[in-house]
Amino acid sequence: MIAGPLAPSFRTPLRRWWATVPACAHGSGGPVMMMGALLLVGMFFFFGVAPPQAFAQTPTDAPFAVRGAPLDEALQRLARQADIDLAYPSALVEGRTAFCRTRRSAAEARLTCLLRGTGVDYVRSSGGTYVLFERRRRAPQHGRLTGTVVDAATGEPLPRATVLLADASTGTTTNEGGQFQFGRVLSGTHRLVVTYVGYATQVDSIVVAPDARRRLRIALSPQPVSSEPLVVKGLQQRLPSDSLGRAVVSADPLARLAGSGTPGVLRRAGRELGTTTHGPLARLHVQGGSSGEHVLRLDGVPVRNPVSLGGFFSAFSPLALDRLTVHKAGYEASQGSYTAGVLTATHDVGRADERLAVTADPISANGRADVQWTTDQGRTGGAMVAARGSAWPLYQAGTLEHLLGTWTAPDPALTSFWLSGTDGPTAVQAQRHRTDARFSDLHAAVRWPLGAFHTLSVSGYRADNRLEAALSSRLATDDGAATLAAQDEYLWRNTALQARHTWTASERLSTALQAYGSWHTSQYRYGLRSSAGAAGPLQLPTSVLGDSPKERNRVAEGGLTAEVDYSPRADLRVEGALEGQYIDGAFRLENRFTGPVVHGTRAWQWSGHLQATASLGVGTTLTGGTRLTHVPVRNQTYAEPRLSLRHDWAEGPLGGGAFRLAGGLYRQFVTQASVTSAEPTSVLPDLQFWLPLDASVAPPRAYHGAASVLLLPSTAWSLRLEAYYKRHPRLHHVDYPRLIAAAGSEAGTPRRVSRQSALLGEGEGRTYGLDATLRRRTGRVTGQLSAGWGTAQRRYEERFDARWVSAPWEEPVRLATQARVRLADGLQVRGQWESVWGRSWALRRIYYDYVGPAGGGGLERSSLNAPGTDVLAPYHRLDLGLQGERTWRGVTVAAQLTLANALGRANPFDASLRRGAGTTTRQPRTLPGRRLVGVLSLRY
């Protein structure tokens, strides 16, 4: 048989002559047009990761590129495109794969490039036909196997998927571009097993030809895990140790209704092993660290102030996210520099199985639209837009109204600081309040395939939040009745943009270049007015704010990152990156204790990392690396070496399992601090600000040690243990005594602070604990029991007599259990129990941070000087839920009904003090009680 264009008079005889050959192949290979793309960093609607394609057809004067295409197909297209004749039997090229990159336009040059490494050669006959034959030489015994693992629905590469050659007892994981490679594989047939969290396992037989490269594109079908817990516990579906030290929250749990009445991204993450959400704001803490000791990145962009207002407000629209990963103690050098951990969230782009999704709950309404397309070259692109808004203008949810009303209730003891001529109220006789809570966010992302080797992803995020409260209270004081009117207003906004270009340079090398920008602004105003007497009904205040001072915070940052991922051989992977980052932060703080304080810092930071992952044998992996960060304002470069060892085994006395040991040095170069609100009726308990380090303070430093064990005695049972220890020789915190003392010497005068050492104090910390999770999963029933014990201690040089005290967010003993029972197809019932014992710092933070350093205000100082002895009552909560789902003519309707806090417990989150006749009593503030909430969603 002949492949290629022949004159009609010769085509038929030649076909008859070659009729003895079983088959032939012909084709044309088009060169790939490498077109540069203008990266629009400010563009809001583009993000993408496209699957690498094996072959692209482009004009003949462009570079010629073939990556992992079947040799038969490549030869056919080359024949048509280059106008040449090829003759060969089909058995000659069967199972062979072509890899070629050349800028030479000559047909023979491209044919030579295509056949290189395939074991096939050619000769040209006198008639101009190229005849292919097998190269006569001793057949080698090994070949190479490379490929890409992608999502079957979206075409998005899947990083860290596990690829096993079962019969060869070897395996590897994909890189960030979803690529894997085995350098030397014994030729012949192999059993390939590919697994990934949240996807169906794929098993296939492949043939590796001698002295040839076999290129694969493996598409895994999503298999969401709809049961609790929110982490996809897919360790049985991939190398178990690969997920130790981190927790992955997939899209389905992120979008699931929470007990607060709306899905909450950070609230979901707080249910995981080693992570907690503390207090009414539900701020996240990673293994005993403060909320300022980790960072949250969306598509690689740092997002400051990811608010989770008691689980009612959320940092992001849950429908927009693909997954959230929590990197815990001993995390790798590639993840960054923070002393507690790193959270990474990624957008979910271009779902192929649905075009539109809408959900509604008592707090918010959410919507998402998807579009996906395929180019002429067969490449897949996709785009997504997701929007969310609060339902407050239409419906004021009772749970949120209760929580805001509880927060704004006046503190009986603290109000004396604002009422002149009295020792303070003894009781609140009557109260009226009005609150307004509104939020909205918008996500947009696109995946844009630029070519066979280039992809562009651009995404954007914008969130606006507003909290307002007006309060009027009638107070009974020692000097008679008084009326207190208060208003506060809190506004904040987040914006994040990024553009990322990835280039697959070869089967072993990939690179990425990302530019990003992130902006956060917030503003807080508070007004208070008191008057004697209590005549007439209470009226809500309308003009208390007036010209009241504003507290402001802003942080803007941008950067450029270049990454390289190279695998010189199958058992070694090397990663490296360089980043330049500019940060500009400023804030204004003003209250009656500190007076007006203004500070701003702007600085460049330069960082990079180098990390290597090596296989030490079957089941054993060693990862080592270091980060280097140069801080120009201090003219110093800081190193952070890190090391981890993982081992997996398939059989043992207790079945299969894995363990991980990790540790290293961790620093932090962006200060995130919380300033406690000083007002007796404030709607938020604290305000946050972010600053790059200046020359007056050294970066915080921590040493991590972590050990994790996973036991898999059967397919239904698993036991996971995590132990960690963190030593913090240097920590930063707000120095309240210094701020208060400085305000006393310059009362009423705006004070510009030029050095951060005037704001921040240094201290020490130590955190250690043990967490365990026992899980059973069968076809109908899934259950989990989690227990955690931990200690988080801090030492403040300027407070509490420089003693070690419990951290304000410490939860020493935590117990949780979750269960799900499938009653029928599409119908299931859920239950969740959570208990916490030993929470300290029981009083409102204003007592410890302002009242104590200011002299106690007539209160007993023994308690204020030992917050670790102020213990709250235990926290207990039971949630029960029913979930159903039905699909009709392509439309899926899902409903969920949850009875939150089914036992109706009044769980306290802090307490105020009330002074009576020579005594002081506590008045606890509680979280909402029993409530019934529901959510309805439509997907098309």
Give the N- to C-terminal CA distance of the chain in Å, as an integer. 50
780 — pLDDT class (breaks 50, 70, 90) = confident
How far, CA to CA in Å, does 726 sit from each of 447, 674, 705? 40, 21, 6
Return the amino acid letter for 538: L
The chain-wide mean pLDDT, for the chain, equals 80
The answer to whether residue 765 scores a pLDDT higher than 90 is yes
* Higher-confidence position of 211 and 455: 455
What integer is the mean pLDDT of 391-400? Answer: 80
Most confident segment among 96-110, 349-363, 647-661, 835-849? 835-849
Residues facing 302 on adjacent strands:
297
The closest alpha carbon to 324, from 258, 272, 260, belongs to 272
* Higher-confidence position of 536 and 565: 565
Q: Which two tokens stand for residue 928?
A: 């909402």
What integer is the mean pLDDT of 901-921? Answer: 82
pLDDT at 803 (0 to 100): 92
pLDDT at 12 (0 to 100): 33
826 — pLDDT class (breaks 50, 70, 90) = confident
pLDDT at 26 (0 to 100): 40
Angle between helices 107-115 and 71-82 (to 10 degrees): 180
937 — pLDDT class (breaks 50, 70, 90) = confident
Which regions of 264-337 does DSSP assign to beta strands (E)?
275-278, 283-286, 294-298, 301-302, 321-327
CA distance 855 to 851: 6
Helix (H, G, I), strand (E, B) or coil at 201: coil
pLDDT at 2 (0 to 100): 45
The answer to whether residue 675 scores a pLDDT higher than 60 is yes
The closest alpha carbon to 106, from 61, 157, 151, 163, belongs to 61
The answer to whether residue 350 scores a pLDDT higher than 80 is no
* Higher-confidence position of 294 and 312: 294
Helix (H, G, I), strand (E, B) or coil at 515: strand
CB atoms within 10 A of CB 873: 15
What integer is the mean pLDDT of 8-35? Answer: 35
Contacts of residue 843, Cβ cutoff 8 Å, sequence gap at least 6: 863, 864, 867, 870, 910, 911, 912, 913, 922
Check: CB of residue 86 under 8 Å from CB of residue 3: yes
| Percent share of the chain, pLDDT over 90 | 30
pLDDT at 34 (0 to 100): 33
The answer to whether residue 46 scores a pLDDT higher than 50 is no
* Higher-confidence position of 370 and 507: 370
What integer is the mean pLDDT of 670-692? Answer: 84
Check: CB of residue 500 under 8 Å from CB of residue 577: no
The answer to whether residue 649 scores a pLDDT higher than 80 is yes
Tell me the three-class secondary structure of 886-913, residue by residue: EEECCEEEEEEEEEECCCCCCCEEEEEE
Q: Is 22 exposed, middle or buried (CB count within 10 Å of its CB: 0-12, 13-18, 19+)?
A: exposed
pLDDT at 312 (0 to 100): 64
DSSP state of 416: G
What integer is the mean pLDDT of 34-41? Answer: 31
The answer to whether residue 344 scores a pLDDT higher than 50 is yes
Contacts of residue 187, Cβ cutoff 8 Å, sequence gap at least 6: 139, 140, 141, 142, 143, 208, 209, 210, 211
Check: CB of residue 130 under 8 Å from CB of residue 122: yes
* Higher-confidence position of 153 and 207: 207
Return the amino acid letter for 121: D
pLDDT at 57 (0 to 100): 40
pLDDT digits (tens, 9 = 90+) for 562-612: 999 998 877 888 999 999 999 999 989 888 888 889 999 999 999 999 999
pLDDT at 633 (0 to 100): 92
535 — pLDDT class (breaks 50, 70, 90) = low
pLDDT at 685 (0 to 100): 79
The answer to whether residue 560 scores a pLDDT higher than 90 is yes
pLDDT at 210 (0 to 100): 76
pLDDT at 233 (0 to 100): 29
Contacts of residue 741, Cβ cutoff 8 Å, sequence gap at least 6: none
pLDDT at 38 (0 to 100): 30
How far, CA to CA in Å, does 921 sit from each of 408, 427, 453, 917? 20, 12, 70, 10
pLDDT digits (tens, 9 = 90+) for 259-291: 666 777 777 777 787 888 876 667 888 999 998
The answer to whether residue 139 scores a pLDDT higher than 80 is no
CA distance 932 to 662: 44
pLDDT digits (tens, 9 = 90+) for 711-743: 988 888 899 999 999 999 999 999 999 888 888
The closest alpha carbon to 411, from 381, 382, 436, 431, belongs to 431
Length of the chain: 940
* Higher-confidence position of 481 and 847: 847
Contacts of residue 918, Cβ cutoff 8 Å, sequence gap at least 6: none
Among the residue ranges 16-20, 262-266, 580-584, 642-646, the one predicted with the least confidence is 16-20
What integer is the mean pLDDT of 230-257? Answer: 63
116 — pLDDT class (breaks 50, 70, 90) = confident
303 — pLDDT class (breaks 50, 70, 90) = very high
How far, CA to CA in Å, does 758 sit from each of 43, 598, 600, 740, 747? 40, 11, 13, 11, 17
The closest alpha carbon to 534, from 477, 587, 585, 467, belongs to 477
pLDDT at 258 (0 to 100): 67
DSSP codes of every residue in 731-770: EEEE-HHHHHHHHHHTTTS-EE---GGGTEEEEEEEEEEE
pLDDT at 451 (0 to 100): 78
486 — pLDDT class (breaks 50, 70, 90) = confident
| Percent share of the chain, pLDDT over 70 | 82
pLDDT digits (tens, 9 = 90+) for 315-332: 788 889 888 889 999 999
Contacts of residue 379, Cβ cutoff 8 Å, sequence gap at least 6: 50, 51, 53, 449, 452
874 — pLDDT class (breaks 50, 70, 90) = very high
pLDDT at 49 (0 to 100): 36
pLDDT at 91 (0 to 100): 80
Among the residue ranges 57-66, 571-580, 752-761, 883-892, the one predicted with the least confidence is 57-66
